[in-house]
Structure 1
Amino acid sequence: MGAIQALRGTRDILPEEVAYWQRVEAIARGVLDRAAYREVRSPLFEQTELFARGIGEATDVVGKEMYTFRDRGDRSVTLRPEGTAGIARAFIEHGLHARGTQRLWYGGAMFRYERPQAGRQRQFHQLGLELIGCAAPRADVETIAIATDILRALGLQRLRLQLNSVGDAADRQRYRRALIEYLTPYKADLDADSQGRLERNPLRILDSKDERTRAIVADAPSILDALGSESQAHFTAVQQQLSDLGIDFALDPCLVRGLDYYTHTAFEIQSDDLGAQATVCGGGRYNGLIEQLGGPVTPAVGWAIGIERLVLLLQELTPPPAIAPDLYVVSRGDRAEAQALVLAQKLRHAGFAVELDLSGSGFAKQFKRADRSGAIGCLVLGEEEAATDTLKLKWLPVQEQTTLPQAQLLATTAELHARLNSLRHQ
């Protein structure tokens, strides 16, 4: 029998790449903590009805891309294709509206049956933010500013904020009629997907990737011209407050996002370094979603960052994060190996990153592995050291070596930390 491999559209993330993921998560958590957002964790699968009602049955996500199955209770269950609907369900189920404005964030795996390509997998990962309970334009701006802060803190510079408003329900209905009237004479010239969307979901035609369709859409009426006075005032305030923060943006009337729950502000943050899959963050306001799912009328705004695409960028732009241990422990002989295990654990409890060589091979091979590990210090225990409760401490960057009692090393951990830091930054 052949070896079993990962399913198409899924991939293993090996330790060297995981270091980038951990960097993203640590920096994002720091930015979100400072902005008073709290982490929430929702299930990987939900009732299918949640996504059908929340995302919209006319969307590609619900119609073509969801992983849906019937469980042993004959219930229709779906692996979550995005995070917002699950957070909205949790907001309603746990009565969070009674606690005032909620600043929440989440991270984890999502699932869509799409054609795999660089930065897009069938199991993919998102970091998302939801600000629930505030209708003010500054809520939209705060969320965009936080996303920008995270991406900048990661060292990304070549970023573009694309901004649009899709208005409220009345605005969209008015625009929908105008768009159908404009596109109907061109129906035969549209790509097949857009022909199917013309009556069902015409706004999605605006972000078609088909070149001929894009040429037709270029002269279509602008949704910005269909906005009512309240929507115009909201969008004007968003633009002014972004400018006040020094966040540059470009208006894109064709930006509608792929999910039906969006209202008013819609946005994407794109990178010039990612080619066709340029969007690293996308989101917007969704004032009607919580009511649509059975909760109270509640305004909300949020976004999601695609971790795979972000890691691709970081791998191109930054060196791999250091994952070397502080100390590498080499030992040879039964008594020395037993002492080395105890010593390594005590040093770990004292706050050091310690790799213990478990190979039992000769000292020469263990020393080579110590050099390759990137460790700053190498601790050596042989039969002689074991008999005298001593060890050899070798500082690898400068090739200095000394012999000292094991108890002395454990009693002077502050000095050990100081020397490690000094050598690491030389």
Structure 2
Amino acid sequence: MRDILPAEASYWKKLYREAEQLSEDYGYERIETPVLEETALYVRGVGKQTDIVEKEMYSFDTAGGEHVSLRPEGTAPIMRSYIHHGMLNRPQPVKLWYWSPMFRHDRPQSGRYREFWQFGCESLGDDDPVLDAQMAFLAWKTLKNAGVESVVQINSIGTLESRANYKNALVAYFRTKRHKLSEDDKKRLVKNPLRLLDSKEPEMQELKAEAPQIMDWLDEDSKAHFMQVLEYLDEAGVSYQLDPYLVRGLDYYTMTVFEVTPVSDNADVAKLALGGGGRYDGLAELLGSGRPVPACGFALGIERVVTRMKEAMPDLGAPEKRDVFVAQLGEQGRKKAFAIFEELRGSGIRAAEALSKKAIKAQMEIANKMGAKWAVIIGQKEVLDGTAIVRDMDAGTQEIVDARKVVQEIKKKLGKE
């Protein structure tokens, strides 16, 4: 668990604004699902034998006897909401986006916490490959707009049928290497062989290089679908690399899968996934919809992205400069400054104040630290005269103006009239 302090908040704010703008430009609507859901939702949707369900979920029984879990990921609850609220009857695809906290009892890693945030988009109700490409594009473009250069690592894992045939070939290969596998990977070989390709064990990297590749086992429809996805990415100028061993860690994926990694000279940093996604046409039926719902989506890990943003834009966390500082002297001056500050703010002027400070010197020091170009100063005399002092903070010169025209004068000096 961690705090998001003011020095970091500017990065979160920029990333949120870029995510919101891009999502809404592409027709995605905001959705928020409950933090607490029935545990069965994730067992059915994410997969009983995944690390998330087996090791990482925060699950407990309520006083009423319900077995619930803190939300570990965003896709299964969104599909549950789609089914529950009859969104199948809306024009398809239904396009949704979210910015939400998730919870996993995970091993501490760079940029990963047990409470973490994700931004994601989901398109439900359409199987066109252009939507797979749009998901990869939106993930890549969000990062680019936030100042982070990235590469899309992409693969296809085909239909359930072609994947079953590939799984048999994979099991046959790794059985001959079983003596080289870690205890965790031996369990994966029995329970979920595809997860071997997602293993981070050092010895697995060498073994994977000789393993069968799923592209050799794809049916013709899956190959055609994937080629169309790549053609759309080419047309959009997305930087991508084919990764024949990419499978992702959730059971609901079919066809296209991808991850987004940062461009970095540091080999370890370049391997860190900032997010990922893909197609999950079988998820709705796993959740009891009674009919298939083609769908695809992605999610970015906010904390990991923010870490990369800090490297790319170290000055973004500096205090934001203000156009004008409102200073005051005496109780009557403070009351008038209170009102003038709101007039300036309401007129779209970036103003600052330190109304709790009484000494004018201390206030001017704060104004300088905030980089204010102008100061509006109001004391007892100015209140009686109905005036205000406007000071040029760079030149040190000042003039007296009508208090009723302070906003107008400041706008003129800022060139905002």
Q: Could you tell me how far 1:421 is from its partner in structure 2?
A: 5.5
Cα distance in 2 between the residues matched to 1:399 and 1:190: 73
1:189 counterpart residue number:
180
Q: Does 1:278 align with 2:272?
A: yes
Matched with 1:124 is 116
Q: Could you tell me which amino acid in structure 1 is paired with residue 84 of structure 2?
A: E
State how far apart, in whole Å, the 2-side matches of 1:45 and 1:306 are. Answer: 20
Question: 1:22 deviation in Å?
Answer: 0.5
Selected match of 1:375 from 330, 353, 372: 372
Secondary structure of the corresponding residue to residue 108 of structure 2: coil
Aligned equivalent of 1:224, options 191, 215, 228 = 215
Kindly tell me: are residues 397 and 80 of structure 1, through their superposed partners in 2, closer, same or farther at Cα, counting changes over 3 Å?
farther
Q: What residue is the counterpart of 2:84 in the other structure? A: 93
Moved more, 132-141 or 380-389: 380-389
Deviation at 1:406, TM superposition (A): 1.0
Name which of 57, 62, 67 aligns with 1:66. Answer: 57
Partner of 1:365: 362
- Listed one character per residue, the Cα deviations across residues 30-63 of structure 1 (whole Å, up to 9, x for unaligned) are 1122211111111111111111110001000110
Is the 1:206–1:217 Cα contact (8 Å) retained in structure 2?
yes
Deviation by residue 1:76-131 (Cα, 9 ceiling, x = unmatched) = 11111111111111101111111021111101111111122321111111100001
Following superposition of structure 1 onto structure 2, how do residues 404-423 of structure 1 map, counting pairs within 5 Å? 404-410=401-407, 412=408, 416-420=410-414
1:264 deviates by 0.3
Residue type at the aligned position of 1:289: L
Is residue 155 of structure 1 aligned with residue 147 of structure 2?
A: yes
Length, aligned pairs only? 409
Does structure 1 retain, via aligned residues, the 8 Å contact 2:330–2:358? Answer: no
* Secondary structure class of the residue paired with 1:244: helix
| Contact 1:69/1:78 (8 A) holds in 2 | yes
User: 1:320 pairs with 316, 319, 324, which one?
Assistant: 316
Indicate conservation of the 8 Å contact 1:20/1:320, yes or no. Answer: yes
Q: How does 1:72-111 map to 2 (within 5 A)?
A: 72-100=63-91, 101-111=93-103
Structure 2 distance, partners of 1:66, 1:251, is 31
Q: Equivalences for 1:17-416 in 2 at 5 Å?
A: 17-100=8-91, 101-157=93-149, 159-273=150-264, 275-276=268-269, 278-295=272-289, 296-318=291-313, 319-320=315-316, 323-410=320-407, 412=408, 416=410
Contact 1:377 1:420 in 2 (8 A): no
Structure 2 spans left out of the alignment, 5+ residues: none
Instruction: Report which stretch shifted further, 141-150 or 169-178.
Output: 141-150
Q: Deviations over 1:171-222 (max 9, x none)?
A: 1111111111111121121112111111100101112111212211211111
TM-score (norm. length: structure 1): 0.92
Q: Secondary structure at the match of 2:60?
A: strand
Q: In the alignment, is the contact (CA less than 8 A) between 1:107 and 1:125 conserved in 2? A: yes
> Is the 8 Å Cα contact of residues 140 and 151 (structure 2) preserved in structure 1?
no
In angstroms, what is the RMSD of aligned CA positions?
A: 1.6
Q: TM-score, structure 2 length as denominator? A: 0.94
Mapped to 2, the partners of 1:126 and 1:72 lie a distance apart of 30
SS of the residue aligned with 2:316?
Answer: coil
CA separation in 2, counterparts of 1:68 and 1:125? 19
Residues 395 and 116 of structure 1: is their aligned pair in 2 closer, same or farther, counting only changes over 3 Å?
farther
- Distance between the aligned counterparts of 2:45 and 2:278, measured in 1? 15
Matched residue of 1:417: which SS?
Answer: helix
Cα contact 1:376–1:420 (8 A) shared by 2: no
Amino acid at match of 1:287: D
Secondary structure of the equivalent of 2:109?
A: coil
Say if 1:46 and 1:79, in contact at 8 Å, map to a contact too.
yes
Q: Secondary structure at the match of 1:134?
A: coil
